[in-house]
Amino acid sequence: MSLKIIGTGRALPKKQITNDDLSKFIDTSDKWITERTGIKSRFICTNESLTDLSETASKVAIKKSGLNKKDIDLILCATIIGDYSTPSLACCISERLSIDVPAFDINAACSGFIYALDVADAYLQTGKAKNILIVSAEMLSKQIDWNDRSTCVLFGDGAGACVVTKGTTLKYINLTAKGEVAPLYSKTGTGNSPFAENPEEQGFLYMNGQDVFKFAVGSIEKGAKRAFEVTGLSAKDIDYFLIHQANKRILEHARLKLKQPESKFPANIHKYGNMSAVTIPVLLDEMLEEGKIKVGDKLLLTAFGAGLTTGTCIIEWE
Q: 290 exposed, middle or buried (CB, 10 Å; 0-12, 13-18, 19+)?
A: exposed
For 2, phi then psi, to 5°, come to -135, 45
d(CA 235, CA 237): 5
d(CA 259, CA 45): 38
Residues classed as catalytic: 110, 244, 274
> Long-range pairs for 179-186 at CB < 8 Å and ≥24 separation?
179/307, 179/308, 180/307, 180/308, 181/306, 181/307, 182/208, 182/211, 183/207, 183/208, 183/211, 183/212, 183/215, 183/306, 183/308, 184/109, 184/208, 184/212, 184/305, 184/306, 184/308, 185/306, 186/80, 186/143
7 neighbors 65 (Cβ within 8 angstroms) = yes
